[in-house]
């Protein structure tokens, strides 16, 4: 049986905690949660980089992260979404 992905979080805000434990407001670009699991899965997301030296003609730059696990699935102190 093929897994069915739950894309209902696509376009929704979340909080991304980076490898340094810093929280960033983020936007889910793809939710990879499997419907049958009933648990939040990994997501792809984008967030605004808060480093003033990383600007361009559009303003602050953005950073993308892929396959970021949910906080409940991550034992490390960072690199998860919630």
* Tens-digit pLDDT profile for residues 8-33: 899 999 999 999 999 999 999 999 99
33-47 pLDDT, tens per residue? 988 888 899 999 999
d(CA 60, CA 73): 30
Residue 79 lies in a domain: no
68, β-bridge pairs: 43
Residues of the domain holding 21: 5-73
pLDDT at 14: 97
The answer to whether residue 80 is domain-embedded is no
Q: 33 lies in a domain? A: yes
Distance CA(73)–CA(51), nearest Å, equals 28
CB of 10 within 8 A of CB of 29? yes
Query: Would residue 43 count as lying in a domain?
Result: yes
The reply to whether 68 falls in a domain is yes
On whether the pTM is more than 0.95, the answer is no
Distance CA(69)–CA(82), nearest Å, equals 9
Instruction: Answer yes or no: is 49 within a domain.
Output: yes
* Conformation bin of residue 12: beta by default, left when phi > 0, alpha when psi is -120 to 50: beta
> How many structural domains compose the chain?
1
Residue 82 counted as domain residue: no
């Amino acid at each position: 049986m093929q897994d069915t992905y739950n894309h209902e979080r696509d376009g929704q805000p979340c909080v991304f905690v980076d490898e340094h434990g810093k929280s960033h407001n983020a936007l889910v670009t793809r939710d990879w949660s499997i419907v049958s699991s009933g648990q939040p899965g990994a997501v792809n997301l984008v967030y605004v980089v808060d480093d003033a030296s990383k600007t361009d003609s559009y303003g602050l730059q953005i950073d993308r992260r892929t396959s970021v696990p949910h906080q409940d699935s991550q034992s490390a102190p960072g690199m998860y979404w919630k």
